[in-house]
Amino acid sequence: MTDNNGIVLKMENITKIFPGVIALEDVSIELYKGEVLGILGENGAGKSTLIKILAGNYIKDSGSIYVDGQKFEIKSPSEAMASGIRVIYQELNTLNNLSVAENIFIGEQLVKGPFKIVDWKAMTKKAGEILGSLNVALDPNSVIGDLSISEKQIVEIAKAISKDAKILVMDEPTAALSEEETQSLFKIIATLKSRGVSIIYISHRLKEIFQITDRVVVLRDGKKVESIKTKDTNANELVTLMVGRDIKEMYPKREVPIGNTVMEVKNLTADGFKDISFKLKKGEILGIFGLLGSGRTSLVKALFGANKVKSGEILINGKKVDIKSPKMARDEKIGLVPLDRKVEGLALHLGVKENITLANIEDLGKGFLIKKQLENKKAQMWIEEMGIKTPTMDQEVNSLSGGNQQKVVLAKWLESGSKIIILNEPTRGIDVGAKIEIYKLMQNLCEKGSAVIMISSELPEILSIADRILVMSKGKMTAEYSRKEASEENLLQSACI
């Protein structure tokens, strides 16, 4: 059974196609016993799809999977779990009104006796032990809803290691963790490794990859580009592999003259953050960096009227404004390209045309009715201007690729005349080519006199594209760097204060 050169998992020629995009094309990976395999790739390279297939969450379109040399068709999460595959997902999967102990044992509560009575005492005790081994002081009886995001992430990790796993997949487990917490996680990984557990570790923090992995697989645009021993490579090589081209070409930065302040935020406080102040200038790209749970998305929503401001003020062109709803934000010429475009940005089952005019329906005609020629003209103009690839303007946006969808969202705000564009992780889930286009579009906007706020957790991106970077941690602003001052180290450091 173990006679396959220590390979515990083999995924061969895996392909997965979503409408409008090939998420994975012919990807093969092997995982050895007791190995930590890093999977590296930019947003949208196919990392998440790959592990969702492994977890039984998606069904592959073609290819085969072998576990311990046996061919294995994974059709559901329970099948994957039964064969010892455990996944810590990026999205937090905890139930807020249940206790820590219960969350750790979801679906497999400890039972005793012939009647399989749930053994609460044993669960609390075991949960305490697991948490203890993770070096965290969390009461197994506390309710999840009371915990911070990083504590929830630790519960997720505890959940995954609560049962003996053969293959443990960690999808950006440190996204919300401080440096110390990260180091204790690495100790756990080392222990698990020595017990013979194989680990797939996904992250786009190179420092972690070098610290913890034995081997790295690099994905790009749904294809495997390289599989290499960690000790045989270096950061530059990995970045080049991930991006697939020269860094300068990847992040085309044009210097745009910076103008007057267009937006000023003074001591803004709302749910999720406190006392934030900054200025945004015409022609500028202002980057905001922070870990998961740092309050960056709450801040964006507050600026856009979708999160109630408790105190502080926002000035636009020197005039105090009171933005109570996205409608008012739009009327102040602010646009938001949200974190999850499918949920927050697009009406997926409407056409490209309807989505482009979505934020500016008022201007589709004089009275009550929509003037069709006018709408067609506007849509056509933006499709050409932004280079949106779509068969017709009536095509459902659902069937476009991620990059083209993102351009539709951007076009929507330009159509409504936005001068301040806020982009929350603008290149999430889109391919490299489209990313470059988005960067160029952002800079075109700046040249035309708009101002851009870009939230990003992708370090190379924010370091190269932003003119100035603000760092948030635990709901507070902890640092501000100019492009020259900023580095991977000082951003991460400020983000963990």
Q: Which residues bind another protein (CB under 8 A)?
A: 18-19, 55, 57, 76-78, 81-82, 89, 93-99, 102, 106-109, 111, 116-118, 124, 128, 139-143, 304, 306, 325-327, 329-331, 336, 338, 343-351, 354, 358-359, 361-362, 364-365, 368-370, 372, 391, 394, 396, 399, 412, 416
Contact 459, 291 (CB under 8 A): no
Smaller CB distance to another protein: residue 190 or 370? 370
CA distances from 361 to 226, 323, 366, 416 (A): 48, 20, 11, 9
The CB-of-180 to another protein minimum distance in angstroms stands at: 21
> Can you tell me the distance from the alpha carbon of 310 to that of 324, in angstroms, rounded to the nearest whole number?
11
Please state, as a whole number, how many other Cβ atoms lie within 10 Å of the Cβ of residue 322.
10
**N- to C-terminal Cα separation, the chain:** 48
> Can you tell me the distance from the alpha carbon of 317 to that of 450, in angstroms, rounded to the nearest whole number?
12
The CB-of-128 to another protein minimum distance in angstroms stands at: 6
The CB-of-147 to another protein minimum distance in angstroms stands at: 13
Helices (H), 86-178: 100-104, 120-133, 149-161
> Can you tell me the distance from the alpha carbon of 28 to that of 227, in angstroms, rounded to the nearest whole number?
10
The CB-of-221 to another protein minimum distance in angstroms stands at: 21
The CB-of-141 to another protein minimum distance in angstroms stands at: 4
Tokens of 379: 């849509």
Burial of residue 473 (CB within 10 Å: 0-12, 13-18, 19+) is buried
Give residues with Cβ within 8 angstroms of 200, minimum separation 6: 31, 37, 39, 51, 54, 167, 168, 169, 170
Contact 218, 38 (CB under 8 A): no
Tokens of 35: 């190995």
Smaller CB distance to another protein: residue 194 or 373? 373
Helix, strand or coil for residue 158?
Answer: helix
The CB-of-460 to another protein minimum distance in angstroms stands at: 28
The CB-of-232 to another protein minimum distance in angstroms stands at: 36
The CB-of-121 to another protein minimum distance in angstroms stands at: 10
Smaller CB distance to another protein: residue 84 or 283? 84
The CB-of-118 to another protein minimum distance in angstroms stands at: 5
Smaller CB distance to another protein: residue 319 or 391? 391
Residue 402's nearest CA partner among 437, 443, 357 is 437
Residue with tokens 């999720």: 272
The CB-of-178 to another protein minimum distance in angstroms stands at: 23
Smaller CB distance to another protein: residue 119 or 214? 119
The CB-of-85 to another protein minimum distance in angstroms stands at: 11
Smaller CB distance to another protein: residue 222 or 351? 351
Smaller CB distance to another protein: residue 118 or 497? 118
Smaller CB distance to another protein: residue 247 or 361? 361
Beta bridge partners of 40: 218
Tokens of 424: 């929350």
Smaller CB distance to another protein: residue 92 or 381? 92
Tokens of 373: 């020629």
The CB-of-345 to another protein minimum distance in angstroms stands at: 6
Burial of residue 159 (CB within 10 Å: 0-12, 13-18, 19+) is buried
Smaller CB distance to another protein: residue 124 or 457? 124
Smaller CB distance to another protein: residue 337 or 496? 337
DSSP strand pairing (451-455 vs 420-424): parallel
Could you list the beta-strand ranges (E) of 187-333.
198-202, 215-220, 223-229, 261-270, 273-281, 285-290, 309-316, 319-321
Smaller CB distance to another protein: residue 108 or 179? 108
> Can you tell me the distance from the alpha carbon of 305 to that of 4, in angstroms, rounded to the nearest whole number?
58
